[in-house]
Amino acid sequence: MLAVLPPRLGTGAEASERSAHAFSFTSITGAPMDLARFDGQPILLVNTASRCGYTDQYADLETLWDRYKNKGLVVLAVPSNDFRQELASEAAVKQFCEATFDVSFPMTEISHVTGQDAHPLYQWLGRKLGRDGRPRWNFHKVLVNGQGQPVAGWPSGVRPTDTAIVSRIERLLPSG
């Protein structure tokens, strides 16, 4: 008799299609980062790079983090070298971000965000949001609600502090 096992959640392609919280990363410091720990909190997910014309958006991301973290917003940077503009190691990325932009929000390890090698979360976001969920360059932003559902995506040229993004974030946060 064969036993039927439930699908394994995590970084694999078999991860649940129901929520971003089913996925996990490794943090920039090498620790496990299960997105389920952000259940109930909106997440602004941004693929980043240290040597991009948009790299100054790290300052805007830190502004959002400072302004809204106590209301529940998670800013999550996903460094990626898919567009050949990221530093060679997690240690170098972390040092650069902290020294240059005083970044204090969570960051993942360097990950693929495009193509067939994309992290499974990014593959899922592409299926859920279509073009808005697929990074076409560094600093593409996707907002996920507290239930783990993607609600909107913005291209690189839209700054994190743009009214379009801030108003969507504020609608997802508790009032008061």
Q: How far apart are CA 18 and CA 39, in angstroms?
A: 13
Task: Tell me which residue has tokens 């932003």.
Answer: 141
Q: How far apart are CA 163 and CA 24, in angstroms?
A: 29
Name the catalytic one among 52, 59, 92, 173. Answer: 52
Listed residue (97, 94, 111) closest to 25, CA to CA:
111
Query: Does 52 participate in catalysis according to the annotation?
Result: yes
Task: Return the H-helix or E-strand segment holding 171.
Answer: helix 163-172
Task: Print burial letters for 155-174: b (CB count within 10 Å at least 16), e (below 16).
Answer: ebebbbeeeebbebbeebee
Which residue numbers are catalytic? 52
